[in-house]
Structure 1
Amino acid sequence: MSSAEYVAPTPGMPCWANLMVSDLRVSQAFYTAVLGWEFRQSSLGAGFLVGSAGGAPVAGIGERRAGFAPPSAWTPYFAVSDADLTAARVQERGATLAVGPVALGEGRAGLAADRDGATFGFWEGPAPAWSVGEGSAPARLDLQTRDVSEAAVFYGEVLGWGHDHGIDVVHRRDHVLVEREGKEVLSLWRGGAENSADPQTWPQWMVNFAVDDVEHAVAMASEGGGEVRVPTSAWVPDGSARVLRDPDGGLFTVSERRR
């Protein structure tokens, strides 16, 4: 990827999505079959691949170090102006700073978990020209959380959501929408159960990928060692998205690409 394809992302907005897995080869084959991605090696080395569609980057998949095996989960990264300040805000508000901030390529990254345990990352520096809901980027990001209002306050304070960058936080009856310049970027829904035996109901960020044929993606997921899950929460809008589990346990959703 050339430097011309990197931009200064909008602070507070998602700027990337990433998945860490136990077997990079298996995951590469799975997401190639299900989502039609092509993969190339990244500047971070052989253990980290960038998935692309139509030549444009979609998301990253990296291999976990041996002996380091947290649950596999798709993780959104949010752009911030100051990674150190963001890390301090995370800790001040009773959440968990798991990693960083650490220097990574041309920027600095941190990994955290909110007060309910949902994992998210933050990034200071240039990022691919990538915006949720546009082009090859994921179609949506949805947070499943225990308390929607509390989560909206937490992320708003940590990430600096506000009108300065055209960001609006819209409270609905049972969920919260975050919009930029009138366009929905992500949503927060009630439904996370911290002590559930089912990983599908844990507080977590769900990444939605648009596909041309949902049923084909579902079939390929089943053939490729994945699993189709029954939606259990309101963040599956109008029943149009399908919940899939990859061979490493990572959950994500697919929906029909808008024409």
Structure 2
Amino acid sequence: MAVQPEGTPCWADAMFSDLKGAKRFYGDVLGWTFGESSPQYGNYTQAYAHGKAVAAVVPPMPGQEGRSQWCLYFASPDAAATARRIRECGGEVLLEPMRVADFGTMCLAREPSGAVFGVWQAGTHEGFGATATPGAYCWAEVFTREPEQADTFLASVFPYRMRELQDDAVDFRMFDIGEDTVLGRMRMTEDFPPEVPSYINVYFAVDDCDTAVARAVELGGVLRFGPVSSPFGRFAALSDPQGADFSVIDITTTEGRMPAIRDV
């Protein structure tokens, strides 16, 4: 795939203390295969779906052990300029822009309400080799208790147009680049334990949501929500055996009418 427009989700990775366990789990649930680990890059290992690069797994650096978490990266033509905007808009740069050989330049940051994300300035590695196909990244949502902070920050750092659902029962916004909706934002409700911080929930596409959920639970994953059908697909929220949250969605199985949406 070509380099994506600024602000488009373009890559996802996660650290796992048990790298073999992560490979076994996601290989069985999402059908991933894995490339060779790169010792010179901390044993960073790419995952593939039907031969296309879709994500990566990596063991933690010494001192970084802890609960695993998926990190979503947003495309940037200039990671250093994006890092400056992140600071100016109230975010925190956790890892300064760092060149990774000729693959590209990465940066890690935290938005003001607490969700951690990455920035990727593509070199030879342009990002996802496929999206919205079984096993590949499909969608992501920022879950936060401080939506006003998150909305203002995201729309200031990236060239987003904001829209929101016309539904009094849910506080949900969407971020568009041109005609494409690339990200969602959901206000966290009291259903979330207070100790759960803001985070970005990554969705991976599957052929059959219920089958993927059953396999995940069988392998030690925890079902957090669903499966439920929606106008966007049948989906469920899960945690893997090492605590990383993610969702699966079958975008071919839809139900109900599309909700009304208005510009913000």
For the superposition of Structure 1 and Structure 2, which TM-score range results when normalised by the shorter chain? 0.7 to 0.9
Aligned to 2:119: 122
Distance in 2, matches of 1:50 and 1:147, equals: 33
Number of residue pairs matched by the alignment? 242
**Matched-pair contact (CA < 8 Å) for 1:9–1:79:** yes
Using the TM superposition, give the Cα deviation of residue 128 of structure 1 relative to its aligned residue in structure 2, in angstroms.
3.1
Distance change >3 Å, CA 21–CA 38, structure 1 → 2: same
| Alignment partners' CA distance in 2, 1:131 and 1:38 | 14
Using the TM superposition, give the Cα deviation of residue 66 of structure 1 relative to its aligned residue in structure 2, in angstroms: 2.8
- Answer yes or no: is the 8 Å Cα contact 1:141–1:187 preserved in 2: yes
Residues 1:141 and 1:68: Cα distance change in structure 2 (over 3 Å): same
Distance 1:89 1:39, change over 3 A: same
User: Quick check: 1:177 aligned with 2:180?
Assistant: no
Measure, in 2, the Cα distance between the counterparts of 1:129 and 1:196.
32
**Structure 1 counterpart of 2:23, one-letter code:** Q
CA shift for structure 1 position 88:
1.6
Confirm whether residue 71 of structure 1 aligns to residue 70 of structure 2: no
What does 1:12-91 correspond to in 2, within 5 Å? Answer: 12-41=7-36, 45=41, 47-91=43-87
Pairs within 5 Å for 1:91-170:
91-106=87-102, 107-126=104-123, 127-128=126-127, 130=129, 132-133=131-132, 137-159=136-158, 161-162=159-160, 168-170=161-163
Q: Shift in Å at residue 150 of structure 1?
A: 2.9
The SS at the match of 1:91 is helix
Give the TM-score, by structure 2 length: 0.81
Q: Is the 8 A contact 1:19 1:73 kept in 2?
A: yes
Task: Evaluate the alpha carbon distance shift between residue 63 and residue 139 of structure 1 in structure 2; reply closer, same or farther with a 3 A threshold.
Answer: same
Give the Cα separation in 1 of the matches to 2:8 and 2:155: 11
Counterpart Cα distance in 2 of 1:15 and 1:116 = 22
When structure 1 is superposed on structure 2, of 17-26 and 43-52 the one drifting more is 43-52
**DSSP 3-state at the match of 1:151:** helix
How far, CA to CA, are the matches of 1:81 and 1:170 in structure 2?
25
Q: Give the drift of 1:243.
A: 1.1
Number of the residue aligned with 2:200:
205
The separation in 1 between residues aligned to 2:156 and 2:129, in whole angstroms, is 23
Relative to total residues, which structure has the larger helix share, 1 or 2?
1
Whole-Å Cα distance in 1 between the matches of residues 130 and 176 of structure 2?
12
SS at match of 1:120: strand
Following the alignment from structure 2 to structure 1, what is the Cα–Cα distance between the partners of residues 92 and 222?
30
Q: What are the Cα deviations for residues 190-233 of structure 1, in whole angstroms up to 9, with x where unaligned?
A: 1178x94553xx311001111112222112212222211236xx
Distance in structure 2 (CA, Å) of the matches to 1:114 and 1:93 = 9
Matches of 1:186 and 1:136, distance apart in 2: 19
Classify the secondary structure of the residue corresponding to 1:29.
helix
Q: TM (normalized to structure 1)?
A: 0.82
DSSP 3-state at the match of 2:64: coil
Q: What residue number does 1:251 align with?
A: 245
Q: 1:252 to 1:99 in 2, by over 3 A?
A: same
- Name the residue aligned to 1:165: none
Percent of aligned pairs with the same amino acid: 32
CA RMSD in angstroms, aligned pairs only: 2.7
> Quick one: distance in 1 between partners of 2:134 and 2:234?
20
C-alpha separation between the residues in 2 aligned to 1:68 and 1:8? Answer: 30
Q: CA deviation at 1:108?
A: 1.1
Relative to structure 1, is the Cα distance of residues 238 and 55 closer, same or farther in structure 2, using a 3 angstrom cutoff?
Answer: closer
List runs of 5+ in structure 2 lacking aligned partners: 254-264
Question: Partners in 2 of 1:86 and 1:249 — Cα distance?
Answer: 30
